[in-house]
Amino acid sequence: MKIAVIQGPNLNMLGIREQHIYGPMSLDQIHEQMKGSASQNGVELEFFQSNLEGELVDRIQECLGTVDGILINPAAFSHTSIAIKDALSAVNLPTIEVHISNIYKREEFRQKSITAGSSTGVITGFGPFGYHLGLIALTQIVAEVKAVEAQQTEAQAEVAE
C-alpha cells in the first residue's frame, strides 16, 4: 500500500513558528514518526511539501494511478483553495485531511475547510499525533476499498465462467 503525504504552506516552518499553536516538532520529525508507524504496517509513504498552490494541485493529480490514498494537510489553503478541492475530487482517492491545531477553536475564517468536502474524513486538533490517526484511518479505508474491489473482480469472473 502506498500513501502520499502532502503538506501545504508554512508547514516547513513547524518547530519554529507559533509553537504555542503547532508545538515544537519539526515537519521532518513528524515524517520520521510516520515512517516508523508505516513500516510496521507495510505502508510506503511519499512525502511532499510546498508553499505554492499550483504545485500542490500538480502533486495531487500525480497521485492518480500511483498511490492508494492521500493524507493531506492543506494548511491555510484549506480555507481558500477551490483548486485543491477540485484536484482531490478529480483523483477520487481515499483522502484524510489533517490539521495540527483545532481549527474550530481558531479565528472564524479558519473554521471552514473548503477542501474537507473532497476528503473522506478530517482529523483536527490532536497536534502531530493527528498524522498518526490519519494514517491509521487511511490504511483501514484503503484496505476496505481493496477488499471490495477484489470481491467485485471475483464476482465478475464467476459470472464470466
Which residue segments constitute the domains of the chain, with CATH numbers given?
A: 2-160 (3.40.50.9100)
Identify the weakest region by mean pLDDT among 38-42, 88-92, 114-118, 149-153: 149-153
Round to whole Å and give the CA distance between 71 and 46: 10
Q: What percent of the chain has pLDDT over 70?
A: 98
Backbone torsions φ then ψ of 108, nearest 5 degrees:
-55, -40
The confidence band for 19, taking pLDDT boundaries of 50, 70 and 90, is confident
Alpha helices in 1-128 (DSSP H): 19-22, 27-40, 53-62, 82-91
Which residues carry out catalysis?
A: 22, 99
Question: From the CB of residue 125, how many other CB atoms can be counted at a distance below 10 Å?
Answer: 14
What confidence score (pLDDT) does residue 17 get? 84
Round to whole Å and give the CA distance between 15 and 75: 15
Round to whole Å and give the CA distance between 54 and 82: 11
Q: Is the pLDDT of residue 111 over 80?
A: no
Specify the pTM: 0.90
Cell of 56: 500542490
What confidence score (pLDDT) does residue 160 get? 77
Q: Is the pLDDT of residue 156 over 90?
A: no
- Say if CB 57 and CB 14 are below 8 A apart: no
pLDDT one-digit tens code per residue, 75-109: 999 999 999 999 999 999 999 999 998 887 777 86
What confidence score (pLDDT) does residue 161 get? 72
Question: Three-class SS of residue 106?
Answer: coil
What confidence score (pLDDT) does residue 152 get? 85
